[in-house]
Amino acid sequence: MKWKTIKEHIIYSLLRLSGLFIVCALAILLFYILSGGIGKISWEFLTNFPTNGMMSGGIFPMIMGTLSLMILTMLIALPLGIFSAIYLVEYAKPGRFTNAIRLAVHNLAGVPSIVYGLLGLGLFVVFLGFGLSLVSAAFTLAIMILPIIIASSQEALRAVPQNIREGALALGSTKWETTYHHVLPYALPGMLTGSILALSRAAGETAPIIMTGAAFYMTHLPSSVFDEFMALPYSIYTLATQSSNVEATRPTVFGAILVLLLIVLFMNLVAIIVRNYYRKKYRW
Amino acid sequence: MKFNISTLRKYNHKKIRNIKDKAIKKILLGFGLTAVIFIILILVFLLIEGLPFFFEGDGLDFFTGDVWDPSSPNTPRYGILPMVLGTFLVTLGAIVIAVPIGIGCSIYLAEIAHPKIRETLKPIIEILAGIPSVVYGFFALVILSTWIDKIFNSTTRLNALTGSIMLAVMMLPIIISLSEDAIRSVPREMKEASLALGLTKWDTIRGVVVPAALSGITAAVILGVARAIGETMTVLMATGNAPVISFDMLSSMRTMTATIAIEMGEVPFGSTHYHSLFAIGIVLFAITFIVNFIADRVMKRFREKY
C-alpha cells in the first residue's frame, strides 16, 4: 500500500512536470524574443524604411505589407467562408452531395501550407497571370484559412437554437429571411471570433507567400494590388538566413519578430474578448 | 374572395419574396461548393505542373534515387529519398519527444489539475499554437541550436535534432487540446464505477480513462504528425538542409517541404527542376492526405463509441 502511494506521487509529479514543460517552453521563447527585440522598438523603427542593407532603419514597409495582405485576405476569405457555412448548416440536405462538401472542407484543412503555395504559384501567379503580387498571395492565404473560417462559422450557426428558426418560419418568413434576420445576428460574433483567429494564422504564414509575391527588398510600398510586397514573416526568414551580414541584421530581426508576435497575439486577444463578451450576452 | 389591388400587390410581393428566396438558395449552393472547387484545383495544378517531370525526367530515379542534385550541369539527379528520409526522421524525433509530454499534460489537465491551474494553462497552450512557425524557426536557428551544440557537441550547428525538438513544441498544442477533449468525453459513470470498486484515482486513470480515450488520443497524435510532416519554416530554418542520406540525428538533414521552399525561388519557370518541385508537392500531398485520412477514421471510431 505504501509503495503504491509513493508510486502514485511520482507519477503525479511527472504529469505535473509535463504541464510545467509547456509553461517553460512559452516563457523561454517569449523571454528571448522580448529581451532581443524590446530595445529595438521605437517610433522610428516602426515608421521608417530599412537602410544600409536592412542593418539599420525601420520595418515600415514590412508592417504595411503584412497589414494590407491581411485586409485583402480577409476581404476574400470572409464572404466565401461565411456563405459556405450558411449553405452547409442552413440549406444543405443530408446526403452524398453534402458529405462530399464536408469531406472537401476537412481535407482542405489538412493540406500543408507549402502545397497552398504551389497552388498559388500555379493558379494565380502563372495561370491567371496575376504575377508575383499582393493579390496572388492574398488569394492563396484566403484559400488556406477558408476551412478554419468555415468550421468555426458552422459551429456558430449550429449553436443558434432551432426554435428561433422555427418561430420565424412559422410567422411566414422565407428561409433566407429567417437566416438573415434571425440566425445570422446571433451567429456573427462566433463567426468573427473564428475568422480573426484564422486571419492571425495567415498573418504569420511564410511558406505560401515565398512563392506568390513576397519580396526581399523594395524601396517603395506596393503601388497596387498587383505589385510585389514586403511582409514581416518573409523578411524575418530572409534576414535570419540569407542576409549578407547575419550578426548585424539580427537586432532588426528580433524587432520584426516582436512586432509580428504583437500583431498575432493582439488579434488572438481581440478574438477571445469578442467570444467572452457574447458568451455572456447570449445565453440560451 | 374579394379581389382588389392591395391583395394583388401582396400576392406579387409574396411571389417576389419566393423568387428571391430561391435565387439566394442557388447562390449559396455556389458558395458551398468553393471548398470542393479548391481541393480539385489543388489536385489539378499539382498534376499539371508536376506530371511533366515524369515525362522529362527519370521517374524511377525520382522514387528510388538517393542523390538530389538538380543543378548539376551535366547529369542532374532528382532522387527524393534523402528528403523523404529527412522528413521521416525529423518527424519521428518530434513524435518521440511530443507524445509522452503531450499525453501526460492532457491527462494532467483533464483529470488532475486544479480548475484554476487549468484555466491558466489553457490560454498558454492557445498562445503556443498561435505563434507563427517562422518565429519557432528563428528560435531554433539562433538559440536552440546553440544549446544543442553545447550539450551534444554536434558536428553541424543545425541538425535534425534541433528541428525535432522545435517541431515537438509546435505539435504539443494540437496533441494536448485534442487528447484532453478525448479524455474529458469519457463518460463519468465509467470513472465513478471504477472508483466505487475501490480503485485509486491513478488506477482509474490508467486502467479505465486512458484505455477508453485511447482512440481519441491516437487520432490527436496522428493529426499532430500530419502537421509536423507539412511544416515548412521551422524545419527549413532548423535542420541545416543538406540533402544527404543519414541516420544520425545530429547531422544536417533536409525535408521535402524545405526543398520546395528553398529551390522554388531560384528555378526558371517550366524547367525540369521546376516541375520536379511540384512532383515533390504531389508526394507531400499524398502523404498528408493518407495520414489525415487515418486520423479521421480513428476519430470516427472514437466518436461512435461514445
Over 90: is that where the pLDDT of A118 sits?
yes
Q: Distance between CA atoms of A229 and A215, rounded to whole angstroms? A: 6
* Candidates A19, A106, A236; nearest CB to B134: A236
The confidence score (pLDDT) of residue A169 equals 93
B76 or A128, greater pLDDT: A128
The pTM score is 0.91
pLDDT band, very low/low/confident/very high, at B8 (cuts 50, 70, 90): low
Mutate to test the interface with B, among A15, A83, A144 (most CBs of B within 10 A): A15
Q: CB of B16 within 8 Å of any CB in chain A?
A: no
Across residues A53-57, what is the average pLDDT? 74
Over 60: is that where the pLDDT of B32 sits?
yes
Over 90: is that where the pLDDT of A86 sits?
yes
B43 chain-A contacts, CB cut-off 8 A: none
Across residues B272-297, what is the average pLDDT? 93
Over 70: is that where the pLDDT of B5 sits?
no
The confidence score (pLDDT) of residue A150 equals 96
pLDDT band, very low/low/confident/very high, at A1 (cuts 50, 70, 90): low
List pLDDT tens digits, range B126-180: 899 999 999 999 999 999 999 998 998 877 888 999 999 999 999 999 999 999 9
The answer to whether the Cβ–Cβ distance between A112 and B230 falls below 8 Å is yes
pLDDT band, very low/low/confident/very high, at B299 (cuts 50, 70, 90): confident
Show which of residues 51-90 on chain B sit within 8 Å of chain A, judged by CB atoms. Answer: none
* Candidates B32, B113, B134; nearest CB to A204: B134
Over 60: is that where the pLDDT of A131 sits?
yes
The confidence score (pLDDT) of residue A40 equals 86
**Out of A47-56, A200-209, B17-26, which region has the weakest mean confidence (pLDDT)?**
A47-56
List pLDDT tens digits, range B38-90: 999 999 999 999 999 998 877 888 898 888 988 888 888 899 999 999 999 99
Domain B80-305: which topology?
Answer: MetI-like fold (1.10.3720)
**Mean pLDDT estimate for chain B:** 90
| 8 Å CB contact between B229 and B91 | yes
List pLDDT tens digits, range A137-190: 999 999 999 999 999 999 999 999 999 999 999 998 899 999 999 999 999 999
Give the phi and the psi of residue B240 in degrees, each rounded to 5.
90, -25
**Out of B4-18, B152-166, B179-193, B204-218, which region has the weakest mean confidence (pLDDT)?**
B4-18
Show which of residues 223-282 on chain B sit within 8 Å of chain A, judged by CB atoms. Answer: 226, 229-233, 236-237, 257, 260-261, 264-265, 269, 277-278, 281
Pick the closest to residue A74 from A210, A184, A190, A203 (CA basis). A203
C-alpha cell recorded at residue A268: 488572438
| 8 Å CB contact between A214 and A231 | yes
User: DSSP assignment, residue A229?
Assistant: B
* Candidates A15, A22, A207; nearest CB to B112: A15
List pLDDT tens digits, range B84-115: 999 999 999 999 999 999 999 999 999 999 99
| Collapsed DSSP state (helix, strand, coil) of residue A233 | helix
Give the chain B residue nearest A125 (alpha carbons). B269
**How many interchain CB pairs under 8 A, A with B?**
241
Distance of residue A136 Cα from the nearest chain B Cα, in angstroms: 15
The confidence score (pLDDT) of residue A219 equals 82
Across residues A113-120, what is the average pLDDT? 96
Q: CB of B290 within 8 Å of any CB in chain A?
A: no
Q: Distance between CA atoms of B47 and B94, rounded to whole angstroms? A: 31
Over 80: is that where the pLDDT of A4 sits?
no
The answer to whether the Cβ–Cβ distance between B108 and A16 falls below 8 Å is yes
B25 chain-A contacts, CB cut-off 8 A: 91, 175-176
pLDDT band, very low/low/confident/very high, at B16 (cuts 50, 70, 90): confident
Pick the closest to residue A135 from A218, A61, A190, A209 (CA basis). A209
CA atoms within 13 A of residue A187's CA, in its CB half-sphere:
30
Q: CB of A9 within 8 Å of any CB in chain B?
A: no
Q: CB of B38 within 8 Å of any CB in chain A?
A: yes
Q: Quote the ipTM score.
A: 0.92
Across residues A30-46, what is the average pLDDT? 90
* Candidates B38, B169, B284; nearest CB to A112: B284
Mutate to test the interface with B, among A12, A22, A70, A174 (most CBs of B within 10 A): A22
Q: CB of A132 within 8 Å of any CB in chain B?
A: no
The confidence score (pLDDT) of residue B6 equals 65
Which phi-psi region, left, alpha or beta, contains residue B131 (left: φ > 0; alpha: ψ -120 to 50)?
A: beta
The answer to whether the Cβ–Cβ distance between A112 and B42 falls below 8 Å is no
The answer to whether the Cβ–Cβ distance between B21 and A14 falls below 8 Å is no
